[in-house]
Amino acid sequence: MKTLINESLVAEQNQSLMPALQEDYDHLGAKLQRSGIDIEAVTQQAAKFQVAVPSWGTGTGGTRFARFPGIGEPRNIFEKLEDCSVINQMVRCTEKVSPHFPWDKVSDFTELKGFADDLGLGFDAVNSNTFQDQPGQEHSYKYGSLTNTCPQTREQAVAHNIECIEWGKTLGSTALTVWIGDGSNFAGQSHFQRQLERYLDSAKEVYNALPDDWSMFIEHKMFEPAFYSTVIQDWGTNVLCAMELGEKAKSLVDLGHHAPNVNIEMIVSRLIQFQKLAGFHFNDSKYGDDDLDSGSLHPFQQFLIFNELVDAEHRNQPGFNPAYMLDQSHNVTDPIESLMNSAEEVQRSYVKALLVDRDALYGFQDSNDAIMAANTLKAAFNLDVAPILAMARVRNGGAIAPIATYRESGYRAAAGVKRPSSGHSGSGIV
Ligand code: RM4
Ligand code: MN
Ligand code: MN
């Protein structure tokens, strides 16, 4: 596997940090032992955890108002993969990349697959894009794509989703994520039922093009770009459509796509129960689809979501196989640093959820002991599991201190020289 940061730098940095880490790890191990938990078993679980990186997150994002480009932003999917390989080299829990088309379209997908292979990377769900017009496109998506009132426009959107599946097959992907921006800005602008009927007709065509081992991930979002109504606005409409389409269609939960204060962990539980949980786009938010770094504002909420996921794992819930992906936009940080941090934050939530004393929790739930049930969750959440995460990284060949080692490598400054700014976002959004 080709690595872009000098391995001896990683080893050197790790060596100087190892004595302190070992001490902290042993201390945590002794503490967990008192509760009958074997730290080694937890570290092994942590070392197996994976979350995919969004290709579009490697470029600096922007808002409706402005975009402030960063140094050495990737200009194409090959450079995005280079950045993703640096992220994975440091954190070792991001082996897969989720590509977005046509932003990441290339003329030779076999070549792209080979390029990723060399960097030790694979591909997660492919994303279609019918929320934007592309240069030279025949029919505009201004008034919708899969739900447009014009049949030719719908056909064009269906054809794009099908070409994404074709490209994804070459890349070794097994899922298509469909998020549409379709909706309306005025009361009365669209007929709700007819619009959703058109969605289902189009989505069925896409669904029928899925290979046997593929899934279709439907992603809902309450608002934006449409501000009065959105066609797939919430998990209710999402799961109804997934049920209508069939077994291969499932609902994807993007943490920033819900009404404020919605109980997301409960939505997750419902989707798990009915085998309709596709997976996640992790991020954090305060107001809406803010795409802030995972766990940066609501780590307890993220932990509660993982509590449901680990609980399903623990119960061997049938059909449980969610895809974990990040979906963020970085405006004021180096995207590589944000993505490394976020991957670690997601992994942290997973590890804390592993430490919940489930049998005790079930007992308190059955005996209606509310305070002890809450305290059982809090006990796991309040543990500092950083030594487990760092140890899992080192054992997988990563860095004890990902950001410090990455900064020390000078990768960003070198990218700045190799990749003069194009003025465009690597994400393709702004
Ligand atoms: C959307 C949604 C999709 C992502 C685009 C770029 O808000 O989260 O997952 O593909 O943004
Ligand atoms: Mn998303
Ligand atoms: Mn989003």
Mean pLDDT by 10 residues, the chain (430 residues): 96 98 98 98 98 98 93 97 98 98 98 98 98 97 98 98 99 98 98 99 99 98 98 98 98 98 98 98 97 98 99 97 98 98 99 98 98 98 98 98 98 96 63
- How far is residue 60's CA from residue 343's CA, in Å, rounded to a whole number? 17
Which pLDDT belongs to residue 45? 98
Sign, Cα dihedral of 402, 407, 410, 413: positive
The residue whose CA is least distant from atom 9 of ligand 1 is: 179
| CB-ligand 1 contact for 350 (6 Å cutoff) | no
Which-ligand-closest: CA of 291?
3
Assigned token pair, 21:
């880490």
Placement of tokens 């002794």 in the chain: 30
H or E element, residue 258: none
The residue whose CA is least distant from atom 7 of ligand 1 is: 289
Residue whose CB lies within 8 A of the most ligand 1 atoms, among 179, 289, 294, for a mutation test: 179
Assigned token pair, 414:
């070198």
Pairing of strands 229-230, 183-184: antiparallel
Q: Tens digits of per-residue pLDDT, 359-400?
A: 999 999 999 999 999 999 999 999 999 999 999 999 999 999
For residue 281, report the distance from its CA to the centre of ligand 1, in Å: 9
If you count DSSP H runs as helices and E runs as strands, how many of each does the chain have, helices first?
15, 11
Which pLDDT belongs to residue 409? 98
Across the beta sheet with 126-127, what order do the strands follow?
Answer: 126-127, 175-178, 215-219, 249-254, 277-282, 323-326
Angle CA 219–220–224, to nearest 5: 120
Name residues with Cβ closer than 5 Å to ligand 3, which is an ion: 289
| CB-ligand 1 contact for 127 (6 Å cutoff) | yes
| CB-ligand 1 contact for 179 (6 Å cutoff) | yes
Phi, psi at 37, each rounded to 5°? -105, 130
Phi, psi at 97, each rounded to 5°? -125, 135
Placement of tokens 């030719």 in the chain: 152
Which pLDDT belongs to residue 1? 86
Q: Which of 62, 120, 61 is nearest to 96 (CA)?
A: 120
Assigned token pair, 381:
């959440």
Which-ligand-closest: CA of 131?
1
| CB-ligand 1 contact for 83 (6 Å cutoff) | no
Contacts of 168 (CB under 8 A, 6+ apart): 99, 123, 125, 126, 174, 175, 176, 214
Spacing of C-alpha 64 from chain mean position: 23
For residue 292, report the distance from its CA to the centre of ligand 1, in Å: 13
How does DSSP classify residue 100? Answer: B
CA distances from 320 to 317, 324, 333 (A): 6, 12, 34
For residue 28, report the distance from its CA to the centre of ligand 3, in Å: 37
Placement of tokens 């002890």 in the chain: 372
Which pLDDT belongs to residue 268? 98
| CB-ligand 1 contact for 104 (6 Å cutoff) | no
Helix spans in 4-60 (H): 7-33, 39-48
Whether this prediction's pTM lies above 0.95 is answered by yes
- How far is residue 230's CA from residue 152's CA, in Å, rounded to a whole number? 21
| CB-ligand 1 contact for 219 (6 Å cutoff) | yes
For residue 280, report the distance from its CA to the centre of ligand 2, in Å: 8
Ligand 1 atom at shortest distance from the alpha carbon of 224: 7
Sign, Cα dihedral of 3, 4, 9, 10: negative
The residue whose CA is least distant from atom 2 of ligand 1 is: 179
Assigned token pair, 409:
């490598």
For residue 22, report the distance from its CA to the centre of ligand 2, in Å: 38
Assigned token pair, 280:
């996640």
Helix (H, G, I), strand (E, B) or coil at 104: coil
